Structure 1
């Protein structure tokens, strides 16, 4: 069982007391209220770059566990943000046994202490009990345990609602939660390519209460086409931006009667299949076109300076789905077609990495492959280079980053395979 270390240092902000959060239903329309005022969640998943989150119109942060809780709550309060406070329940795929009554009871008591410690912090918005506990599981008793945690929260903290989060939306999980976890107030859904249509599905599956889209973003690495050698093809930053806009407008914002808002994933950067798949920022904090879209959706205004737009990336005239093969040591030509809507001069950076072999599930931490030293020769046309392929046979990815000099960039990668 994961042990959470509770911080003994509580914020001075707690003296202001909790701000009551509640959900109300009127004529079939659900509304979240905070401090008696309607509250729609424009949330970010991740606790970095919070100044920018506020500047671009976000109002809430999702934390998946109690790790660094005091720090996150205090920073959120200082910046006028709320926090979806996650309680990371043990997962069967990570070895937690819900037939072990002692472990289940210990988990409940551990969370009781967490809730008692942080329930009066004014930044707390609600409690998120578990994240994707349904991922690769067989023991339905996890929902009974989640219900016991939610019941405890309702007894200890009358000011904040409870939610549990599933991986996507499935009729079986909806029914199990209704039957085994009636203390859950809000349904949380992590969804990517399947976001549009969730509004109809959740009604058809019998959930009568409100819901929140707790993770959303690009097509997941399990939802995209693969190369002939079995690796997923990642969308470019510009393709992602188009999908973020479509999914927000046609999915999240299109259901004001039941959807209480959302948390975009990932407000930050991480290695998950690749180093660019889910983060809306690059590793150095540079913003991608996705951030432009989020600012527009949250504020109704596009940023004064827009990010570069990448239309295509090819190696030896082949795109990712063309299954590009090259020979060891072969000279390769890479062409990135990038434009800047403001006419900014673009600078390019290139990175060659072997295909990652550390692929996990459920967002578990992955290691980043080390970049390979190569000599890049710029072509006559901006965004064009030649390089010599490594001698080692196997799968690789070439990444391109196109910077506009104003903190924005376009990013893409193309997988290819070296074979003799």
Structure 2
């Protein structure tokens, strides 16, 4: 009954929006393969896809998988013949996605429904299990190389891609997935995307962060500090146009509101102002007195709406 009710509810949505010029296609379920145990979910997807074809013959149907596992793609192929396009969300694996899709036996069209930086579940972690985030410039480099190796190359099966995320969100950190900061500033990733989509970089480009260290160590070094220990951090940032940079530092406790599948998380409250910064990218501060896991964030602003970001996790014990 619940499945039948779901189909009727979706039919109402299709009838409501099918003539809207913004509709390109219908996505039936997002990352259903993350949580299900009953393979009949794919029968329900197919029933919905068939209903959509009858209700709206003008738009194709899709379902979105997390990753390109052969097992799930086999289910879609055998149980969902009414699904026209396979959609895949992938992060670090984007570069090899065209081959993954072919190895899994999918011969039809596919699109990349989410892609972005290295995911928080994919990269290095500190000994206390804090995920290490790429700087905005490291992200720009991997967005560029992975996109050029995959979406830009695969002219026969890949229909295109949706980058994640056009905006800002708290997921592990306030800067991990957003292409913009909380104040709407643009990172170097947006410069790369404009180049990939148009062939041209913007006239004023974002600052480039080459290095970020805390006590001369980097984010992957598992930095530990004593409570109250006087500490220095250094951000090495350049601006393509030579714009003068202003630095903003923020100290956050490690996030404890950790959700799955991109569900909404709350932002940790900043440790109040004990960071003294200067215009050369150096910050001096005392480690928090309260033991625990923290991150030091830097934002380097160019005065033209662009920013470089980075953070270093550390443990006070």
Fold shared by both chains (TM-score > 0.5): yes
Q: CA deviation at 1:376?
A: 2.1
Tell me if 1:128 matches 2:12: no
Q: Distance in 2 between matches of 1:378 and 1:244?
A: 30
**Preserved contact between residue 378 and residue 384 of structure 1 (Cα < 8 Å):** yes
Alignment pair present for 1:409 and 2:307: yes
Asked if residue 150 in structure 1 is aligned to residue 46 in structure 2, the reply is: no
Measure, in 2, the Cα distance between the counterparts of 1:167 and 1:289: 26
Match of 2:132 in 1: 233
Shift of 1:378: 2.7
Give the Å deviation of 1:120: 1.1
Q: Cα deviation per residue 1:138-195 (whole Å; 9 max; x = unaligned)?
A: 1111111111110000000010000000001100000001111110000000001011
Hey, what's the Cα distance between the residues in 1 that align with 2:194 and 2:315? 38
Once the two structures are superposed, the pairs formed by residues 41-190 of structure 1 within 5 Å of their partners are 102-190=1-89
Alignment of 1:364-403 (within 5 A): 364-379=263-278, 382-403=280-301
For residues 301-340 of structure 1, what are the structure 2 equivalents within 5 Å? 301-340=200-239
2: CA distance between counterparts of 1:364 and 1:376?
Answer: 31
- Contact preservation (8 Å) 1:150, 1:183: yes
Per the normalisation by structure 2, the TM-score is: 0.99
**2: distance between equivalents of 1:231 and 1:378?**
25
The answer to whether the aligner puts 1:263 opposite 2:162 as a matched pair is yes
Give the distance between the partners of 1:136 and 1:317, measured in 2 at CA.
Answer: 42
Task: Output the CA distance in 2 between the equivalents of 1:307 and 1:375.
Answer: 27
Match of 1:286 among 181, 185, 195: 185
Aligned residues: 317
CA distance in 1 between counterparts of 2:259 and 2:277 reads 36
SS in 2 for 1:373: coil
Q: Alpha-carbon deviations, 1:208-237, whole Å to 9, x = none?
A: 210001100100000000001111100000
2:146 matched to 1:247? yes
Deviation at 1:288, TM superposition (A): 0.2
Matched, 1:418 2:316: yes
Residues in 2 aligned to 1:194 and 1:185: alpha-carbon distance in whole angstroms: 23
In 2, Cα distance between equivalents of 1:355 and 1:376: 17
Q: Distance in 2 between matches of 1:372 and 1:177?
A: 48
Given that residues 251 and 296 in structure 2 are in contact (C-alpha distance below 8 angstroms), is that contact kept between their aligned partners in structure 1?
yes
Q: In the TM superposition, what is the alpha-carbon distance from 1:413 to its structure 2 partner?
A: 0.3
In 2: Cα distance, 1:354 partner to 1:378 partner: 19
Displacement of 1:377 in angstroms is 1.9
Question: Following TM superposition, by how much is the alpha carbon of 1:126 offset from its aligned partner in structure 2, in angstroms?
Answer: 0.6
Matched, 1:224 2:123: yes
CA contact 1:318–1:324 (8 Å) conserved in 2: yes
Tell me by how many angstroms 1:257 deviates.
Answer: 0.4
Q: CA deviation at 1:123?
A: 1.8
2:251 to 331, 349, 352: 352
- Using structure 1 for the length normalisation, give the TM-score: 0.75
Q: Which runs of 5+ in 2 are unaligned?
A: none
In 2, Cα distance between the equivalents of 1:193 and 1:296? 20
Q: Deviations over 1:109-130 (max 9, x none)?
A: 0000000111011221110111
**Structure 1 CA distance for aligned equivalents of residues 237 and 205 of structure 2:** 13
When the two chains are superposed, the root-mean-square deviation of aligned CA atoms in Å is 0.9
CA contact (8 A) 1:374 1:387 kept: no
- Measure how far apart 1:346 and its partner are: 0.1
Q: Deviations over 1:224-280 (max 9, x none)?
A: 000011111000000000001111111111101000000000010000011100001
Ranges of 4+ aligned residues in structure 1 off by more than 6 Å: none
- Is the Cα contact below 8 Å between 1:348 and 1:403 reproduced in 2? yes
Cα deviations by residue, 1:341-385 (Å, 9 ceiling, x for unpaired): 110000011110000011111111111111110222235x61001
